[in-house]
Amino acid sequence: MTRRRLLLCIGAALCLSAGTLAALLASDVRAWQTALVASNARAVGDPSSGVPSAPDQILPFHFARSLLGLDDDLALRRALVLVRRGYTGIPSYDQSTAGSQARAQAETALARVIQAGGGRRRVAAAANLLGALAFVDSLAGAGQATKPVERSIVEFQNAIRLDPRNGEAKANLELALGVVAPDSRFQSSRNAAAGKRGGAASGRRPGRGY
Specify the pTM: 0.66
- Is position 147 within any domain? yes
Q: Report yes or no: 162 and 123 within 8 Å, Cβ to Cβ.
A: yes
Q: What is the CATH number of the domain that holds 133?
A: 1.25.40
Q: What is the mean pLDDT of residues 105-113?
A: 91
- Is position 70 within any domain? yes
Range of the domain at 175: 62-183
Q: Report yes or no: 114 and 161 within 8 Å, Cβ to Cβ.
A: no
**What pLDDT shows up at residue 205?**
47
- Is position 159 within any domain? yes
Q: Report yes or no: 146 and 139 within 8 Å, Cβ to Cβ.
A: yes
Count CB-CB contacts under 10 A for residue 20.
Answer: 10
Q: Report yes or no: 105 and 82 within 8 Å, Cβ to Cβ.
A: yes
Residue of higher predicted confidence among 32 and 163? 163
pLDDT digits (tens, 9 = 90+) for 64-88: 777 767 788 888 888 888 888 888 8
- Is position 90 within any domain? yes
